[in-house]
């Protein structure tokens, strides 16, 4: 999760909502990383998890990420939770909860639906650091907006 946090900080420096993601292969080696690039790429699908999943699939030469672990600083949205299901990621670790779009229980638990696949999930991993980064990003943005 430390590497995911570093990627989230990079996103913030770029003016993006700070979210970072890392995927470890079955042997624990990093096989995919990603960070939010929605604004800079003008792409609604450019979330951290999507970039990391694509990179991990490319590294393994397979759309199946069975045995892999995904670490993300923020609870996944429906698109990213759906991609976790599609890629058969075995373990999902997330940091801060996302009350408006989180799909590990905040809005709904997508993994409890009848999609025939459910990873092992653990939330709240490095939660204080993940939440602090998001809070600081939005506070800075708000204070800039007040000054304008």
Residue 104 half-sphere exposure toward CB, CA atoms < 13 A = 23
Catalytic residue check, 49: yes
1/53 with CB nearer a second copy: 53
Under 8 Å between Cβ of 134 and 128: no
Residue 62 half-sphere exposure toward CB, CA atoms < 13 A = 11
Among 109, 116, 89, residue whose Cα is nearest residue 25: 89
Least distance from C-beta 128 to a second copy, angstroms? 26
Count other Cβ atoms within 10 Å, centred on residue 114. 4
Least distance from C-beta 2 to a second copy, angstroms? 25
Task: Please report, as ranges, the residues that interact with a second copy according to CB under 8 A.
Answer: 38-39, 41-47, 50, 53-54, 57-58, 60-65, 77-83, 85-88, 100-101, 103, 107-108, 110, 113-116
28/116 with CB nearer a second copy: 116
Least distance from C-beta 61 to a second copy, angstroms? 5
When computed from its CA atoms, the radius of gyration of the chain, rounded to whole angstroms, is 15
Count other Cβ atoms within 10 Å, centred on residue 77. 19
Considering the candidates 10, 16, 49, 75, report the single residue annotated as catalytic.
49
Q: Please, which residues have CB within 8 angstroms of residue 45's CB and are 6 or more apart in sequence?
A: 79
6/107 with CB nearer a second copy: 107
15/128 with CB nearer a second copy: 15
Least distance from C-beta 7 to a second copy, angstroms? 18
Which residues are the active-site residues? Answer: 49
């Amino acid at each position: 999760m430390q590497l995911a946090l570093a990627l989230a900080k990079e996103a913030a420096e770029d003016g993006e909502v700070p979210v970072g993601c890392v995927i470890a292969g079955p042997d624990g080696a990093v096989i995919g990383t990603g960070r939010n690039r929605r604004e800079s790429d003008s792409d609604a699908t450019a979330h951290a998890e999507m970039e990391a999943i694509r990179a991990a699939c490319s590294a393994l030469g397979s759309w199946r990420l069975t045995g892999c672990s995904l670490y993300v600083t923020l609870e996944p949205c429906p698109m990213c939770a759906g991609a976790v299901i599609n890629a058969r990621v075995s373990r999902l670790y997330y940091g801060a909860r996302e009350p408006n779009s989180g799909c590990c229980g905040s809005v709904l638990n997508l993994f409890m639906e009848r999609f025939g696949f459910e990873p092992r999930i653990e939330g709240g991993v490095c939660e204080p650091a993940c939440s602090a980064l998001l809070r600081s990003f939005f506070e800075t943005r708000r204070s800039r907006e007040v000054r304008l």
